[in-house]
Chain A
Amino acid sequence: MILVYISSQNGISKSAFEAVTYARKLDSEVCVLTCGSASEAQLSAFGQYGAQKVLVDRKIDGSDAQQLTKLISQYAQELNASTLVFTHDFVGKAIAPRVSVKLKAGMVAGAIALPEANGSIKVNVFSGKASGFVKVNSSVRIISLLANSIPLELNETACKVEEITANTGDSKIKVISVKKPDGAIPLPEAEIVVSAGRGLKGPENWGMVETLAQTLGAATACSRPVADIGWRPHHEHVGQTGVAIRPNLYIAIGISGAIQHLAGVNGSKVIVVVNTDKEAPFFKAADYGVIGDAFDVIPKLNAALVKFKAANN
């Protein structure tokens, strides 16, 4: 039996369904555990990906990892779960290590694939410059799954939603306010990312990047210096010291392709590079390259995409 902890505080993310898909591939018995106020209909959607049961504790809101650790550990033990699956995002990073200590269960942080035949699990190391295979030595194991590591797979299953209450104590964390950019696709989950660097010369030139992203239904990202000088918000900074992403398509515009930048993006399935300099190191990591001025190429690429979309709809 696999227990999957999911945050449903701000709606249910794609990575939550990926975690359930992953769990279903490990075992036919999958139970989802969550808290908060998501509706029964929202929660029973986990059945589409193979969960038989969703347990929801409506008394806690999910902001205190200590409470959640008690909740999760209690049910892991009651259900005799062999594996616990988390999403390797801010939720999993806050809770899974705690649960690992509480249950003395070894943790694979940031899994990017299903277990190998020898039981080890692949993760990125050195910020994506290499990968490693982690073996867990304890009888119960914890896996936190990096977003976009496994394609969603439907597995229609009758799914019961059950309300539970666990003895979690009071929350020690008081939430004062929440700032959430409206409607934006969270960068780590985006399937397509349009990213730009210092080659764009100034923040006033991001309009064409945003337009291209909109045409593609993509999230926007940037190189570190661009975030450092304040042309773009920090949460868009990708790379070794920013966010690591693995979208299906990464379009890099006016980014040189420094080793620290590549580290965070080379898990992308397909990379397109647009750069004026044919010697830019990024071309060595690219699948498709365009030598040219972004101010000329990007509007043309956008027009070609708009045309393609119109023809294919």
Chain B
Amino acid sequence: MNILVCISKSPDTTSKIAFSNDNTQFDDNGVQYIVNPYDEWYALVRALELKETLGGQVTIITVGTTTDEAIMRKALAIGADEAVRIDADPKDAYYTAMQIAHYAQSNGFDLVLTGKETINYNGSQVGGMIAEALDAPFVSLATKLEVNGTTIQLEREIVGGLELIEVALPVVVSCAKGMAEQRIPNMRGIMAARTKPLQIIAPQAIEELTNFIQFSAASSKASVKMIDADNMDELVALLHSEAKVI
């Protein structure tokens, strides 16, 4: 089983989000980057589990700059065999997906896994775009994945429920909670990661179909109105006549 796992960096979940250059750019001063949790906890770990039972190889790929090498080492320490970095600043989902699709096309994979979305731009787009470019089926928001010879069975989230489906390989899958459990890299993994190959590839010429022109930090609430625990009638009255939500 030859598996490609797409990983992205994202700011640590406790990061304060600020912008620079007249609010046109994310200000990553002092921000600690992590592997995007969905990519790490679900996509990467499930890929490793499949490799452990079926044999094969797990390659991680990211579209990013030299600052991304720390998260690539982390993914290698968790157990990926090889790491590829397309040397570009990924500003647009289409641009990013086309770079990965080009690599996947030239190298041939049975399975391409992504996280459900990144926790920075939250687009949930890259997996579907890769699948279209590869003309492969795409299963989004999968919570379980079992390989059965040349087909896979997946459970995926649908509105208010779950669906069990079957599809033939090769497939692109975006992975959500339920797929696997987070793994903490051990000392051996961390040591081994230092010597595993990091392949750096020049990007293809691909246009960006979208761009962010401005950001704004979430507006903070006006001060909270405190209500006495013994006066729930007042809370109900305020929710009705002031907030107008009931």
Contacts and interface: CB of A to CB of B under 8 A. Distances in A.
Contacts of B125: 93, 96-97, 100, 107, 109
A312 B209 CA distance: 51
B146 to A, nearest CB: 12
A186 B128 CA distance: 23
Contact of B38 (A101, A106, A120, A241): A241
Given A288-B239, A301-B232, A93 B128 contact: yes
B13 A240 contact: yes
A259 B11 CA distance: 13
A180 B168 CA distance: 25
Given A65-B128, A108-B210, A174 B93 contact: no
Interface residues of B, number: 83
Nearest to B208: A137
A177 B140 contact: no
A281 B57 CA distance: 45
Contacts of A301: 232, 235-236
Chain A binding surface, main DSSP class: mixed
A65 B138 contact: yes
Of the candidates A108, A240, A304, the one having the most CB atoms from chain B within 10 angstroms of its own CB is A304
Interface in A91-130: 91, 93-102, 104-110, 118, 120, 123-130
Contact of A106 (B143, B209, B240): B209
B126 interface: yes
Contacts of A150: none
A128 B121 CA distance: 10
A133 interface: yes
B30 interface: no
A64 interface: yes
Contact of B122 (A124, A135, A138): A124
Interface string B118-141: 011111111111011101011111
Nearest to B217: A130
A107 B209 contact: yes
Interface in A236-253: 237, 240-242, 244, 248-249
A235 B157 contact: yes
A287 B209 contact: no
A300 B232 contact: yes
B165 A174 contact: yes
A89 interface: yes
A69 B93 contact: no
Interface string A255-277: 00001100100100111110000
Contacts of B208: 137
A123 B97 CA distance: 20
Contact of A132 (B164, B177, B209, B212): B212
Interface string A62-100: 011110010000000000000000001111011111111
User: Chain A: interface residue count, which band?
Assistant: 35 or more
Given A124-B122, A192-B245, A301-B235, A290 B128 contact: no
B158 interface: yes
A216 interface: yes
A270 B239 contact: yes
B214 interface: yes
Of the candidates B139, B209, B225, the one having the most CB atoms from chain A within 10 angstroms of its own CB is B209
B155 to A, nearest CB: 9
B149 interface: no
Contacts of A100: 93-94, 125, 128-129, 132, 209
B243 A109 contact: no
Contacts of B131: 65-66, 98
B221 interface: yes
A156 B139 CA distance: 37
B224 A286 contact: yes
B12 to A, nearest CB: 10
B164 A290 contact: no
B209 A105 contact: yes
Contact of B159 (A10, A110, A237): A10
A229 interface: no
A95 B224 contact: no
Of the candidates A105, A130, A177, the one having the most CB atoms from chain B within 10 angstroms of its own CB is A130
B209 A104 contact: yes
Nearest to A136: B210
Contacts of A89: 159
Interface of B: 11, 13-14, 17, 19, 37-38, 92-94, 97-98, 119-129, 131-133, 135, 137-141, 143, 153, 156-168, 174, 177-178, 207-218, 220-222, 224-230, 232-233, 235-240, 243, 245-246
9 contacts: A7-B159, A65-B138, A95-B128, A133-B213, A135-B210, A288-B225, A288-B227, A304-B232, A304-B235
Given A97-B126, A241-B119, 13 more contacts: A93-B140, A98-B128, A100-B94, A101-B129, A127-B122, A138-B209, A174-B166, A176-B153, A179-B162, A270-B245, A290-B235, A305-B246, A307-B236
